[in-house]
Amino acid sequence: MEFPLPSLTAAAAERVFGYLRIEDPLPERADLIVGFGHFDMRIPRRCGELWLRYGATILFTGGRGSGTADLSVPEADAFFAELKTAFPGIPDGSVILENGSTNTTENVRFSAGLLEKRFGKGFFGSRRPTVVICASP
């Protein structure tokens, strides 16, 4: 037996996206900007805009996931190349690349390991860090 699906109009799709989307106001300061791997190359450009605002370290996280397996390089590497094209003045040392993960759980786990390795357990001192996460532009 077949159950026809209702057609999804642009207005309905926009409503669903609005429901699923989380957008908090930007903080006054940020210690870290995280760009989650994706096929959308607007994400690294948004991270570059955030770097101009905060001057914070950027962490691009993503290897080759199910939606980006056809990229010639890991997501983080593609993001870095796009960032350098759009914002050539951002120093390479301001960017950390985690390019081995294949899903969100690994993104977080592998990124935490890289941050601890680079900055130690006391990276943020005794205060809670402010992290801006960019998972969609």
pLDDT, tens digit (0-9, with 9 covering 90-100), for 67-78: 666 778 899 999
Provide the whole-model pTM.
0.80
Distance in angstroms (rounded) separating the CA atoms of residues 82 and 2: 45
Query: Does residue 60 contact residue 44 with C-beta atoms inside 8 Å?
Result: yes
Q: How far, CA to CA in Å, does 69 sit from each of 22, 81, 99, 120? A: 26, 17, 13, 32
- Does residue 33 register a pLDDT over 80? yes
Rounded to an integer, the average pLDDT of 73-88 is 95
Q: At what angle do helices 42-54 and 75-86 cross, to 10 degrees?
A: 60
* 38-69: pLDDT as tens digits: 888 899 999 999 999 999 999 999 998 666 66
R_g of the chain, CA atoms, integer Å: 17
Confidence (pLDDT) at 17: 65
The percent helix, strand, coil of the chain (3-state, each to 5) is 40, 15, 45
Scan for tokens 């900007």, then name that residue: 33
Instruction: Band the pLDDT of 118: cuts 50, 70, 90.
Output: confident
Q: Which domains does the chain have, with CATH numbers?
A: 36-134 (3.40.50.620)
Instruction: Band the pLDDT of 128: cuts 50, 70, 90.
Output: confident
CA-angle at 70, arms to 103 and 88, nearest 5°: 85
Confidence (pLDDT) at 38: 80
As separate numbers, helices (DSSP H) first and strands (DSSP E) second, the chain gives 4, 4
